Amino acid sequence: MKAIALIPAYNEEKTIKKVISEIERVGLVPIVIDDGSTDRTYEIAKKMNAVVIKHDENRGKGEALKTGFTFILKNLPKIRNVIIVDADMQYSPKDSIKILDPLRKGEADFVMGRRNWRTVPLRHSFGNLIWRGIFNSFFDTKLKDTNCGYMGLSRIALKKIRRIHGGYIIENMMLIEALKHKLRIKQVPVSVTYKYKRNVFSGLRMGLGVLVFIIVEGIKYRLGKI
């Protein structure tokens, strides 16, 4: 059975068609979770004959992923692997094969992309350096990237990783869940394109929020409370 590409989308009418086309081209089956879009995301995805599940209102990426996980576990018992693909083309859908490969070979239960920091804007690479260093310190890991949104999960991981919420902490949260459940984790190189600029205040607030989350969860992990 083909693997699923789970695509959470919110107001992505400019890119959703291309994402679906490229996902199908590499042999994956797209399932779009339209998280309450107010543009033509839903209509375009439906015309592409993708499976589309629509939220009545915007609930956030975490809730979109949970909706997708629940749908797959309940309705698609033969699906063994799922790749999470962003709808904005920040990550290339073609790299989904790299994410999928360790899952198909049985080498991992949870796969996360690893960005090439030489191609990432300095402000992003610096923030990720801090997050990554603190994460690895608290959780005794040697991960090269702890905040990449390009991820793949086996069916085992789909069943176990259920604590998903928030915005920029989702990747850290899923990694922590994978560690808590002793899932096999692997990282593979992926390409990334940064299209949007965040204002300084917003960027600092987001960065601090992720940092606080990692520290709080790391302390709980050390104390055996998660």
pLDDT at position 197 over 90: no
Cβ pair 168, 203 in contact under 8 A: no
Strand partners, 83: 5, 152
User: pLDDT tens digit string along 205-218?
Assistant: 888 999 999 999 99
Task: Give the predicted TM-score (pTM) of the model.
Answer: 0.93
Angstrom CA distances, 109 to 47, 76, 133, stand at 33, 18, 23
pLDDT at position 188 over 90: yes
Residue 31 has a pLDDT of 98
Residue 80 has a pLDDT of 97
Cβ pair 85, 96 in contact under 8 A: yes
Residue 200 has a pLDDT of 63
Calculate mean pLDDT across residues 83-88: 96
User: pLDDT tens digit string along 172-183?
Assistant: 999 999 999 999
Q: In this predicted model, which residue has the larger pLDDT, 62 or 225?
A: 62
Cβ pair 58, 10 in contact under 8 A: yes
As a 3-state breakdown, the chain gives helix, strand, coil percent values, each rounded to 5, of 45, 15, 35
Superfamily (CATH H level) for 4-118+145-195: Spore Coat Polysaccharide Biosynthesis Protein SpsA; Chain A (3.90.550.10)
Residue 122 has a pLDDT of 84
